[in-house]
């Protein structure tokens, strides 16, 4: 069953290739959605796909790339979106 989540990653997550890392991992898991930097030094995004793939992404978001220092990952379930074909960086 397809589901979609919204997530926000807190910590030292900007300027450390976090968006590129997330896009690469999400794509490799077959997810669609997007990731972007937001004010306050956070990264947020949405991911859509099967439950197992979303859980894999959430696990890697907890640590991020080697230069990152993640303090918290918040997530919530949201409505599935039709028409996406890839995972993009905004």
Residues annotated as part of the active site: 19, 37
59: which 2 tokens? 């696990």
88: which 2 tokens? 């993009």
d(CA 36, CA 39): 10
Helical axes 18-28 vs 51-61, angle rounded to 10° = 160
d(CA 77, CA 6): 6
Q: How far is CA 89 from CA 1, 34, 46, in A?
A: 25, 6, 11
């Amino acid at each position: 069953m397809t589901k979609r989540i919204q997530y926000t990653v807190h910590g030292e997550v900007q300027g450390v290739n976090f968006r590129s890392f997330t896009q690469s991992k999400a794509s490799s898991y077959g997810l669609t959605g997007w990731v972007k930097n937001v004010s306050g030094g956070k990264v947020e995004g949405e991911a859509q796909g099967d439950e197992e793939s979303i859980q894999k992404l959430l696990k890697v978001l907890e640590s991020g790339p080697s230069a990152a220092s993640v303090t918290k990952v918040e997530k919530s379930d949201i409505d599935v979106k039709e028409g996406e074909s890839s995972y993009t960086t905004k």
